[in-house]
Amino acid sequence: MQIKTDYFKQNKTQYQASYNAIYKKILKYKRIAVFAHASPDYDALGTQMGLTTWLRDNFPEKEIMALGQNHVVFTPRLYPSLDVVSEEWLKKPFLAIVVDTGNAYRVADQRFHYADFVIKIDHHPAVEQYGDLNLVNTSMCATSELIADFIVNCPRKSNVLSKEAAVFLYTGIAGDSGRFQYSSTTPHTFMTAAMLMDTGIDLSRDVYLKMYGGTLNDLYVMSYILNHFSVTKNGVAYYVLSDEDLNKLNIPVERGKENVNLFAETDGINAWASITEDRPNKKWRVSLRSKEKSINGVAAHFHGGGHPQASGATLFSLDELPKLIEELDMLFAK
Ligand code: AMP
C-alpha cells in the first residue's frame, strides 16, 4: 500500500471554494459574532473560542464577539466567559458565524438572526441549512477539526495560529472523539491534533487535567450511577437522575450526562443513555450513545437529533421513558 502523508489535502478540492467564500466574508465585515449551541459541550465551546481567538489574533482591527452560553463547569476553568453585547451592537451590520449547531432553534443566542449574513459551520448531518452560506462536513469528528482544516487551508498570507486558539480547538476534538477512541476519529483527526500540538501545547497541563480532572464527589456520583442503572433484554443500558437525585449528589442538571459513557466498553451493551430531570424547564434531558447502530432516528422521535452514535433528545414527562427505551431496545432485537 502506498503511504499517504498529507491528509490535509484530502478536503482541499471539495471544500476550498467554501473556505475561500468564508474568508471573503470575514474580510468584508468589521464586526463578527461567533455563536454555538445551547447546553454547550467541549466541541461547541472549543470551536467557538478557537475560531474567536484565531479571528482576534489575525484581525485585531475588527470587533469579534463570542456570544451564547457559558459552561457550568468548564467556564472559566477551560474556556473564558463569553461576551456580553448591547442591543445597539447587534443593530449595526455584523457577520454571524454559527458553529457546531445543526438546527437554528438550538443556537444559544437567537440574536444571530439579526446578522446581515449568517455562516453555518458544522459536522452534524445537515438537517437544516439555516445559513446564507453553509459549510457542513460530516467526515470531521468535531467541528473544531473542521475549523482547524479551514485555518490550514485559508488563503491568508500571514496566518497566525496561537497556542491559545490551538488549545481550544484541541479540546473540541478530544471531546467529540472521546479522546481519539470513537470510529469518527480518522488519520486527518490525528494530523490536525499534531498540527495543533505543534503550537507548544502541553497535553497534560493545558488540556487533559482541565478537561477531565475530577473531585471525590465525582466518584460518589459514578458509584451512585453504577448502583442504579438498568439494562434491557437487548443490551440498552440507562440511568435516570431525578431532580432529587441531582440535589442529593450535589450536581447541576448539565452534569447528569457526564457518566453516560461508563457503559461504552461493556460487552453485550449496544447502546446507553442518561435521562436527567431539568425541573425548572419541566423536561428530562436525554443523552443517547451507541456502539454501532444509528440511534439519531430514535432521538428524532423524541424532539432530538444528532450524530448516528451520539444524539440528544427531550422527554416532557417520565411517562415517555418506557416508549423511548422500547424503541431503542427494538433496534437491537435479533
Ligand atoms: P449530548 O447528549 O447532549 O452530548 O448530545 C449528543 C449530540 O447530539 C451532540 O452532537 C449534540 O449537538 C446533538 N444533540 C443533542 N440534542 C439535540 C437535539 N435536540 N437536536 C439535535 N441534535 C442534538
Please write the tens of the pLDDT for every residue from 186-242: 999 999 999 999 999 999 999 999 999 999 999 999 999 999 999 999 999 999 999
Q: Is the CB of 176 within 6 Å of ligand 1?
A: no
Q: Ligand 1 in contact with 305 (CB < 6 A)?
A: yes
Q: What is the pLDDT of residue 188?
A: 95
Cβ(304) – ligand 1 distance below 6 Å:
yes
Q: How far apart are CA 76 and CA 70, in angstroms?
A: 8
Tell me, in angstroms, the distance from the centre of ligand 1 to residue 177's CA: 14
Does residue 250 have a pLDDT over 80? yes
Helix or strand (DSSP H, E) at 274: strand 271-278
Residue 41 CA, closest ligand 1 atom number? 4
Q: Which residues contact 113 (CB under 8 A, 6 or more apart)?
A: none
Going from the Cα of 17 to the center of ligand 1, the distance in angstroms, rounded, reads: 29
CB 40 less than 6 A from any atom of ligand 1: no
Is 256 close to ligand 1, i.e. is its CB under 6 Å away? no
Mean pLDDT of 103-111: 97
CA distances from 255 to 4, 41, 91, 284 (A): 41, 11, 35, 13
CA distances, 225 to each of 14, 86, 146 (Å) = 45, 43, 34
pLDDT band, residue 282 (cuts 50/70/90): very high
57-91, pLDDT tens digit by residue? 999 999 999 999 999 989 999 999 999 999 999 99
Cα(56) to centroid(ligand 1), Å = 29
Angle between helices 163-176 and 42-58 (to 10 degrees): 160
Position 1 scores a pLDDT of 65
**Residue 256 in this model has a pLDDT that exceeds 80:** yes
How much is the mean pLDDT over the chain? Answer: 96
The residue contributing the CA closest to ligand 1 atom 15 is 312
Distance in Å, CA 307 to ligand 1 centroid: 8
Instruction: Report the residue among 274, 302, 311 best suited for mutation to probe ligand 1: largest number of ligand atoms under 8 A from its CB.
Output: 311
pLDDT-derived band at 275 (thresholds 50, 70, 90) equals: very high
Place of cell 482576534: 56
306 lines ligand 1 (CB under 6 A): yes
Question: What is the pLDDT, as a whole number, of residue 209?
Answer: 96
**Residue 9 confidence (pLDDT) above 90:** no
For ligand 1, atom 19, name the residue with the nearest CA.
Answer: 304
Ligand 1 atom 10 nearest Cα: 306
Mean pLDDT on 94-115: 97
CB of 172 closer than 6 angstroms to any ligand 1 atom: no
**pLDDT confidence of residue 312:** 96
Average pLDDT over residues 261-287: 97
pLDDT at 5: 65
pLDDT at 30 > cutoff 70:
yes
Q: Give the per-residue pLDDT at 301.
A: 97
Classify residue 136 by burial, with Cβ atoms within 10 Å: 0-12, 13-18, 19+: buried
Q: Which atom of ligand 1 is nearest to the CA of 314?
A: 19
Quick one: pLDDT band at residue 7, thresholds 50, 70, 90? confident
How remote is the CA of residue 59 from the centroid of ligand 1, in Å? Answer: 32
Establish whether residue 278 lines the binding site of ligand 1, counting it when its CB lies within 6 angstroms of any ligand atom: no
Q: Closest Cα to atom 12, ligand 1: which residue?
A: 306
pTM of the model: 0.88
pLDDT, average across residues 319-325:
98
127 pLDDT exceeds 90? no
Instruction: Examine the pLDDT at 149 and tell me if it is beyond 80.
Output: yes
Q: What is the pLDDT of residue 106?
A: 95
Q: In this predicted structure, what is the pLDDT of residue 8?
A: 76
